[in-house]
A and B are shown apart, each in its own frame.
Chain A
Amino acid sequence: RKEVEQDPGPFNVPEGATVAFNCTYSNSASQSFFWYRQDCRKEPKLLMSVYSSGNEDGRFTAQLNRASQYISLLIRDSKLSDSATYLCVVNLEGSARQLTFGSGTQLTVLP
């Protein structure tokens, strides 16, 4: 079983739609959670951290369910510029301060 699992998609949605991505992680000791965005042929960039209480950044909402080991990302009113691959990322704190990446969910927002 992969440490971080995501639906690879692709998700093709019309502009203005709401789209949700899900992610599960296997290590219950994971402490920090993130969503990264990766544009085609570019490097991953941090989109937002995910907090236990859930958090929102403009049109983006992230949620964490520790009991189910489940993370989600909701994008409202999607824009053409949201087209990218979204990577779910977890960090097992401690001496090994490294990120484990999901394989990503590809989103295309259509005009």
Chain B
Amino acid sequence: DAGVIQSPRHEVTEMGQEVTLRCKPISGHDYLFWYRQTMMRGLELLIYFNNNVPIDDSGMPEDRFSAKMPNASFSTLKIQPSEPRDSAVYFCASRVHGYTFGSGTRLTVV
């Protein structure tokens, strides 16, 4: 089992650009979560899906953030337009019973 796969591992982009983060959950896991981690705020839940349906997006910071899960094996988190304060590590996690996190995407917006 390859685990939760995230891409890219690192992303450096200029302010105002669109950023798309990708996640492939573990096959058979029916929940998928997007978290953001910063030094100041720790790990924050942004949004989660159950069976590809968004359940709770109350953690999405603002309209610049959007997430989709078109099928059971793929999800995206998009930031448009990106801002320097979006710089963080973004983790995707999936679960049936226990959580498994991906390796994260380290985003830097300059």
Contact = CB atoms under 8 A, between A and B. Distances in A.
Interface in A76-101: 87, 95-101
B103 interface: yes
A22 to B, nearest CB: 17
The binding surface of chain A is classed by DSSP as loop
A101 B42 contact: yes
B91 A98 contact: no
**What interface size band does chain B fall in?**
20 to 34
Contacts of B99: 46, 99
B25 interface: no
A45 B42 contact: no
B103 A98 contact: no
Contacts of B102: 43
A96 B31 CA distance: 11
A69 interface: no
Contact of B43 (A42, A95, A101): A101
Interface of B: 31, 33, 35, 41-43, 45, 48, 50, 55-56, 91, 95, 98-99, 101-104, 106
Interface of A: 41-46, 87, 95-104
A103 B42 contact: yes
Contact of B48 (A45, A98, A101): A98
Nearest to B35: A101
B56 A96 contact: yes
Given A45-B101, A46-B99, A97 B31 contact: yes
A43 B101 contact: yes
A4 B91 CA distance: 19
